[in-house]
Structures are given as C-alpha cells and as structure tokens.
Structure 1
C-alpha cells in the first residue's frame, strides 16, 4: 500500500514539475499596463506571419517595424517561419531615438528583425519537443544564419539567447499565420 502511494505521489510531482517548466503564467515585463497575454493564444490564421503581428495590440510596434522593413517580401515565398516578436515593452527599453533611427534605416531594421525569424514552425508544442529532446536546451538558426539557443530558465520559462549574448524570455505562444507562427518575447535581439 505504501509503495502504491509513493508511486502515485512521485508521478504527480514529476507531472507538476514538467507542467510548471513549460507553462508561462506571467509576463516578467509587466508594468502598470498589461503588455502581453501569458500562455498560449491561438488565433485563426488570416495572413502571413508578418501580418499576424497586427492581431495582438501588445505587438503593434513589431508589426509597424515589420511593415516598414518590408519583412514579408524579404522572406522567401515558399517556407514556414517562426517569428519571435518583441512586445511593445521590449521596444520601449531601447535608448531614446534608437527606434526612430532604426525605422529610418530600413536595411538595418530588416537585419534586426531577421534576427528574430527562424525557418520552420516552432509553436509551444514544437519548442517543448525540441527542449525535451535536447534535455532542456535547443538550437535554432535564423533566416540570416545566426544561431539562437533555447533553454529553460530557473524560473521555468523558455529563454532565447543570440550569438552576441542578448537574451529574451518567451512570453506568448502560438499566434498562427498562414505560413507559420509568432511567439512573443520580452526583449530585442540584435545581430552581430
């Protein structure tokens, strides 16, 4: 009897630990105004991944930047993509006038945005699968050939780190586009 109770208790503990590791329950960038809806949000695909950014008000700056950089045209028409989109709070962390400067230099803006785009669809389920297969770590390549490393943080969130050491936590999953998915992050990654 004691052995059965111990097995059930152990199974429950492991299940809760795994669930907590991959459940995003709050956005660490929250200020007095809400910045993102935590967890998984499934939105009906009505456009490509770039236009999908417009479906969530917390990513309006990323949507504006993607349109200014003509990111849809820069991604090959054939393919599936994942955008790790910085939320509005991430853009507000930029030094004064940096966003304005980037918006005026569309080539540099496109380079920064492509740092957030990987080939393939990596929604929450695919990220969890990759992290489980990599024992808590995974590597993805951006469309410009840069490397993004994924890892589970001590706070049980998924963190992206680029080649220059910039990191961001995934705060929102699964905004569906016709050619991929958008996941929200709380910082901006910068290319080398």
Structure 2
C-alpha cells in the first residue's frame, strides 16, 4: 500500500514538474512581434473574415462604402492589413467622416492596406527571415509596403512613410487573411 501511494505521489510530482517546465519554455526562433493570433475557420472570403471580428467593424464599413467588398470577395488571395476601430477613432477630427463622404479617396486609402497573396503570421516570419528582417509586399494599387521589426513589433511602412504595427494575426477567409493594425496608412499627397 505504501509503495502504491509513493508511486502515485512520484507520478503526480513528475507530471506537475514537466507541465511547469513546458509552460516556461519559449520559442526563440521566431522573429515576428508577439501579437494576438486568431483563426476564423469557415469565413467565405476576406470580407467575411473582417466581419467576423467586431473590433474591425469600421474597417468593414469603409470597405463597403468604398465599394471594394465586391473585389475582395472574388479572386485573390488577398491579405488585408486592417486598422481596428480604436485606430479610426484616433484619426484627427473629421478625417473619417470626410473619407466616408468621398468613396474614391477612401478606396485609395484602403487599397494601400491590401496586398495580393496570403500572408499570415507564419508567412510573414518566413518573409522576414528570408529578407534578413525586412520584406516588401506590393499593394493592390501597385505601391510598396515594407514589413520590418521595430523592437519586438512587426511594423508596416508605406511609400509615403506612414507606419502601423500589427496587433492581430490570421483572421482567415477562403480567399485570404486579415491582419489587424494600429494605424491608418495614409497615402502621400
């Protein structure tokens, strides 16, 4: 009986210790910034993936207002770097309202947030590793979008020097991925 109790206690201690060690282990091979990863299975397209997270409802409304939803629902694959609602609310007063009243200008801004290709977190890490810390993607309007590390954060920089950091990875749609960002990439004048 004592032997059984001793074996049970030893097994419990070993299990607890192993799980504690595994919980403390970190993967130091990854170079991308720690950001939230959310997988949305079953979204019919990238617009559906965008709609799956309420923190991106303003971006969704902007895509619809600019009439880009029909383009983004077909073809692809696409990756949308979508500003979250808080980002839109932090724009200077009147900026969002002015953009929503001018769908052509809004479409120009939004096209600077969309690239052709599927770039989830793992794909971005591979691209950064291959580019020794930098990668350049092309937006659907033909502009360069540079990905780099700013400290431990993944940063995007557009052709006019506007920057944002990725805050959410991998909202998956059938024809692409949405990654959330904390800034609006405004085009040059």
- d(CA) in 1 for partners of 2:55, 2:181: 11
For 1:103-182, list aligned pairs within 5 A.
103-154=100-151, 156-182=152-178
TM-score where L is the length of structure 2: 0.81
Query: Which whole-Å CA distance do the structure 2 matches of 1:76 and 1:53 have between them?
Result: 11
1:45 aligns with 2:42: yes
Match status 1:58 vs 2:55: yes
If the length of structure 1 is used for normalisation, what is the TM-score? 0.80
Per-residue deviation, 1:70 = 1.5
What is the 5 A alignment of 1:67-106? 67-75=64-72, 77-106=74-103
Give the whole-Å Cα distance in 2 for the aligned partners of 1:122 and 1:152. 16
Deviation for aligned residue 1:75: 4.3
Q: Residue 164 of structure 1 aligns to a residue in which SS?
A: coil
Computing the radius of gyration over CA atoms, which structure comes out larger, 1 or 2?
2
Instruction: Say if 2:29 is the partner of 1:18.
Output: yes
- Residues 148 and 23 (structure 1), Cα distance of their counterparts in 2 relative to 1, 3 Å cut: closer
Kept in 2, the 8 Å contact 1:23–1:39? The answer is no
Distance 2:42 2:94 in 1: 34
Instruction: Report the CA distance between 1:23 and its aligned residue.
Output: 4.6
SS in 1 for 2:74: coil
- Deviating runs (4+, > 4 A) in structure 1? none
Q: Which runs of 5+ in 2 are unaligned?
A: 1-25
- Other structure's SS at 1:99 match: helix
C-alpha separation in 2, matches of 1:144 and 1:151: 21
Q: How many residues align?
A: 163
Distance in 1, Cα, partners of 2:184 & 2:77:
22
Three-state SS of the structure 2 residue aligned to 1:132 is: helix
Partner of 1:187: helix, strand, or coil? coil
Q: Which runs of 5+ in 1 are unaligned?
A: 1-14, 25-37
Q: Which shifted more, 42-51 or 115-124?
A: 42-51
Q: What are the Cα deviations for residues 116-163 of structure 1, in whole angstroms up to 9, with x where unaligned?
A: 000000000100000000011000000000100000111x11100001
